[in-house]
Amino acid sequence: MGALAVQTYDLGVRFGDFQALYGINLEIPQGSFVAIVGPNGAGKSTLLKVLLGLDPGNLRDGEARLVGRAEVFGQAPKALPASWVGYVPQVKSFDRSFPALALEVVVSGLRRAWPFSIGPREREVALAALAQVGAAHLAERPLGRLSGGELQRVYLARSLVRQPKLLMLDEPATGVDVVGEADLYRHLEAYQRQSGATILMITHDWEAASHHASHVLLLNRTVIAFDPPGLALRHECLSRAFGHVGHAHDAPVIR
């Protein structure tokens, strides 16, 4: 087996009385393109938060309890250099009325803070990241004037500006039309070819997963399958993951 990008050991997350994840054991090779597929509430975003080194909890519901452990490139997620990991959250979580230019958003990913002024070198690097995703012409455009596809390109450029070794995306095609979605996957695949990066992408689109991913992680609070798309997306695996009303899978409780 080659080098691993992600490894988890009996990873589990519990929110109060709800078991969000349990028994997650994964070995994800470096250079993989992994589509994470599962029903709503399956723990997909929670898993990404753990791998990002973020608190997976919701303060309204109390603290999360995490057991087991996760490693990214052999290290605890919080110990990784910030430049190693890029993240594209769901676009719908951003306020489109925020008075910012696309270039400023990308520079904020480079600086890890909001840029109240932008130096020549920062501008050059940010423009290169925008050009990498076909969005250099959007640099001086306010966020409120961007389409869903354009906004997604800007946030993809923000995540790529440090040329990360691991890129994680949470439903990146949400609110993007068919043409924009095709462009998104084209840019992701081009970046992976150029950099050898590992990509983890949450998606509800089984067809996109089957066409673009090297592996599919089928998740419903635990791992149902982690295989190439042709194996993971078989009917029996999908039935186990998505099931039917009254066929929920019981999860053990972390004490």
Mean pLDDT (the chain) is 87
Query: CATH number of the domain at 4-242, please?
Result: 3.40.50.300
pLDDT attached to residue 251:
44
Distance of CA 82 to the CA centre of its chain: 15
pLDDT attached to residue 89:
85
pLDDT for residue 71 is more than 70? yes
pLDDT for residue 248 is more than 90? no
Whether 11 contacts 37, CB under 8 Å: no
Q: Which distant-in-sequence residues (6+ apart) come within 8 Å of 217 by Cβ?
A: 26, 34, 35, 36, 37, 223, 225, 226, 232
Q: How is residue 116 annotated by DSSP?
A: S
HSE-CB of 237 using CA atoms within 13 angstroms: 20
pLDDT for residue 195 is more than 70? yes
Q: pLDDT-based confidence at 74, cuts 50/70/90? A: very high
Q: Which stretch of 48-62, 93-107, 142-156, 213-227 has the lowest confidence by average pLDDT?
A: 48-62
- Least Cα distance to 24 among 1, 44, 54 occurs for 44
